Amino acid sequence: MPARLLVPQLLGFIALLAAAVQFYTDREHGSKHCKVPLSWRAHRGLLSLYSLSSLMFCLTGAYILLLCHAYPQRSLYTQQYVEGLLWIWSGCISYACDAVDLGVKSWSHPIDRLSATLFIAYNVLAYVAYARMGALPVAATIEFPLSLMSGLFCFKRSGDAVHKGDMEGYFFWHTAWHFVLPITGILHFSLIYFI
């Protein structure tokens, strides 16, 4: 390939890499250009539904651990309990990011961003692998993409609300994001273990 064709591709890759580094190291709640305002902090306490919704991920993780313990023969792989621990981690870091550090710069925001991205990517890859192997029940094969899209829709709407300065919309849609993925996660694992 001629160098004149490689240079634009290389520059595009470098720009993409720089944007990713910026995104995953930004300590703002939200993004540099679309921050969750500090003033919203006064409207939600650490025990509000919005704040506690992050812990739904922990509930899903505990459910997965219970399934792995009670029905080890139904696990898709021998170390599936690690997935339960990842759900619990997601809940803890989400609570730190969205409740404790709501609207303020913190280390929890980039960690939450990176954790959520890797966790979703892991789940998509696992889903594709197990679906291709035929290891998932048909119901779980259909349910997973619908659940993921529903969760991402809620997350997108919460980001749109921040962009518009709509505090109530943000709290509603971000709480929905924290409920949709964990509840559908419980549904997904129930389908795997009981169908």
Question: Which distant-in-sequence residues (6+ apart) come within 8 Å of 178 by Cβ?
Answer: 53, 54, 56, 57, 94, 98
Q: Is the pLDDT of residue 1 over 70?
A: no
pLDDT, residue 3, reads 66
Q: Does residue 87 carry a pLDDT above 80? A: yes
For residue 46, give the 3-state DSSP assignment. coil
What is residue 93's predicted lDDT score, i.e. its pLDDT? 98
- pLDDT exceeds cutoff 90 at 173: yes
Q: Which of 31, 117, 135 is nearest to 77 (CA)?
A: 135
Q: How confident is residue 67, by pLDDT bands cut at 50, 70 and 90?
A: very high
- Mean pLDDT within 38-57: 93
Asked if residue 55 lies in contact with residue 95, where contact means CB atoms within 8 angstroms, the answer is yes
- Taking the model in full, what pTM does it have? 0.89
What's the mean pLDDT in 138-154? 96
pLDDT at residue 159 is higher than 90: yes
Short-list 85, 105, 86, 98, CA closest to 54: 98
pLDDT per position as a tens digit, 88-134: 999 999 999 999 999 999 999 999 999 999 999 999 999 999 999 99
